[in-house]
Amino acid sequence: MDGDDRTRAAKWTRADVEALMAAPFAELVFRAAEVHRENFNPNEVQASRLLSIKTGGCPEDCGYCSQSAKFDTGLKASKLMDRDAVVATAKRAQEEGASRFCMGAAWRSPKTRDMDELCAMVGEVKALGLETCMTLGMLSDAQAKQLSEAGLDYYNHNIDTSPEYYDRIVSTRTFEDRIDTLEKVRASGMKVCCGGIVGMGEAPEDRVGFLLVLANMTPPPESVPINALMPIEGTPLGASEPIGALDFVRMIAVARILMPTSYVRLSAGREDMSEEAQALSFLAGANSIFVGDELLTTNNPGQAKDAALFETLGVTLI
């Protein structure tokens, strides 16, 4: 079916997504680029900075994550960062060109005793003029409301993969638990940031199922991070084979067609991507990245490397 006639409220079928995934590469990227140009300036990319405000010691067993207390990755757990340190980091990120500041904590869910401090962080970072985002695990209705009232713009809670493959990656919470938190976030009035990871051993049909769930949310997430797995020694997925560059670009292109007005973020994995793979991803509709030399606990291209790439591409970070 021709996706050009779709509206955001329409529902995509599995056959629709399968057809896009099977399209000739050049045709798919061309179509995605057309959709992108209809909704965004193709020469602008949103710059976000991600900070781990509470690292390690998480009770979950997400098979890709160095921060799980269940895996021996050599990572030491830390307490919640001091608010002044978080705000100072946000200010530096803004000075270096970031327009959105994302704060992540390695929790199953935040404790009630931490909520006032988290909300204060949101308020002070937002006062700098930055968009704000947090990822803190599962939320209750009351917690989602409290964060929303504090002014949090986005809440990130990834579905990770398809519903069918999910229990191969995580056993300590269900796919439905993820959806439940996303519904609470949406009901609170915050914008949704939701995506997942490819290269975890999933089959092609799981990549279809993953994008199908995202595209059929009502509305789809305003921000869609597509991560390439960065294998971490000591985790169950530490020996995974990387996803091919063209397969990754195909994911970006299909996401752009399915979710025309969402920011599609080229997220984890850029450190290991060639400049050509990144350029193809931007051509296919990616228009958001994380800047800085670290993503929570993994490496990311630094400012100098990114500046050189975007100067070559004629792209402006916003």
Whether residue 249 lies inside any domain: the answer is: yes
Q: At what angle do helices 245-258 and 275-283 cross, to 10 degrees?
A: 20
Residue 8 has pLDDT above 70, yes or no: no
**C-alpha dihedral over 202, 217, 283, 134, to 10 degrees?**
-90
**Residue numbers annotated as active site:** 58, 62, 65, 102, 133, 193, 265
- Domain membership flag for residue 7: no
The count of C-alpha atoms lying within 13 angstroms of the C-alpha of 219, restricted to the half-sphere facing its C-beta, is 15
- Tokens for 8, please give them: 């955001």
Give the pLDDT band of residue 292 (cuts 50, 70, 90): confident
Q: Is the pTM of this model over 0.75?
A: yes
Within a domain: residue 1? no
In a domain, 4, yes or no: no
* Alpha-carbon distances, residue 179 vs 111, 153, 312 (angstroms): 20, 19, 40
* Number of compact structural domains in the chain: 1
Cβ-proximal residues to 260 (8 Å cutoff; 6+ apart), any chain: 8, 35, 36, 38, 39
Domain presence at residue 171: yes
3 inside domain: no
What is the span of the domain harbouring residue 211?
Answer: 12-317
Closest CA to 173 of 237, 112, 109: 109
At 27, give phi and psi (nearest 5°). -65, -40
Q: For 65-75, give one letter per residue: b (16+ CB within 10 A) or e.
A: bbbbeebebeb
Q: What is the 3-state secondary structure (H, E, C) of 201-257?
A: CCCHHHHHHHHHHHHCCCCCCCEEEEEECCCCCCCCCCCCCCCCHHHHHHHHHHHHH
Q: Where residue 1 falls among pLDDT bands split at 50, 70, 90? A: very low
CA distance 61 to 42: 38
Where does the pLDDT of residue 272 fall: very low under 50, low under 70, confident under 90, or very high at 90 and above? confident
In a domain, 163, yes or no: yes
Model pLDDT for residues 206-248, shown as the tens digit of each residue: 999 999 999 999 999 999 999 999 899 999 999 999 999 999 9
How far, in whole angstroms, is CA 149 from its chain's centroid? Answer: 23
Domain CATH code at residue 264: 3.20.20.70
176: helix, strand or coil: helix
CA distances from 282 to 141, 207, 248 (A): 36, 20, 12
Whether 164 maps to a domain, the answer reads yes
β-bridge partners, 49: 101, 291
pLDDT confidence of residue 2? 46
Side-chain half-sphere CA neighbours of 153 within 13 A? 15
pLDDT for 301 beyond 80 = no
